[in-house]
Amino acid sequence: MQTKNERTAKTAARILEAAKQLTIQKGWRNTTVRDICNACGISVGAFYHHFSSKQELMNRAFLLFDETLAAELPLCEGPPAEMLRRILLTQTSFVARQAGPVVTEYYHNILTDEQKAAADPQRLYYQRVLHYTTLAHRQGVLKEGFTPQQAAELLIKFVRGSLIDWCLHDCSYDVTARTTQELDLLLGALCGE
């Protein structure tokens, strides 16, 4: 017998998957809450029990990376630049693999949302990147003139910019490979490697 929390999690996952599929088919702006509800066989009221709005649904869908990050990349020892590289490339690969064409809609959505920022200090992703830029600073590896916060925001904005460029090119190239090459240059400039 499923617990209430398990049923809630399953329903939320069905809503997220239905929204993803509909967005691929129709585009985010052309997908309504009712469409999503019909696709996963729930009432509109049930949708609003799980998500306060379509905007929140989109935002929560992309926060799934934080769960992946916590599971796949626990804080560990290693050179800060290498740990930063792993986190940032994991983010890039996750978005490319999980979101695909939906990411274009997501970025359009957040670019028009006045509440969003490229580097959200509440996100585990930001906190992990900041952890390693702080470590690089403490070890004297971070170039002078950069605070750990500035370096973390620069790196996160770089990855976001790479993903937006990929979207502008209709997801037509291997974003992880290109980001790897460019990120290595940026990390070399930032961390003196």
**Helices H, strands E: what count in the chain?**
9, 0
SS (H, E, C) 154-176: HHHHHHHHHHHHHHHCCCCCCHH
Rounded Cα gap, residues 111 and 100, in angstroms: 18
Dihedral sign, Cα of residue 157, residue 159, residue 165, residue 167? negative
Query: pLDDT tens digits for 62-82?
Result: 666 677 677 766 677 788 999
**For the whole model, what pTM was predicted?**
0.74
Does pLDDT of 102 surpass 80?
no
Question: Looking at residue 33, what is its pLDDT?
Answer: 93
Query: pLDDT tens digits for 110-150?
Result: 666 666 655 677 788 888 899 999 999 999 999 988 999 99
Spacing of C-alpha 45 from chain mean position = 28
Burial of 15 (0-12, 13-18, 19+ CB in 10 A): buried
Confidence of residue 56 (pLDDT cuts 50, 70, 90): confident
Q: To the nearest whole percent, how much of the chain has pLDDT over 90?
A: 36
CB 148 within 8 A of CB 122: no
- The residue-averaged pLDDT of 157-181 equals 90
Burial of 21 (0-12, 13-18, 19+ CB in 10 A): middle
Average pLDDT score over the chain: 84
Mean pLDDT lowest for which of 30-34, 61-65, 94-98? 61-65
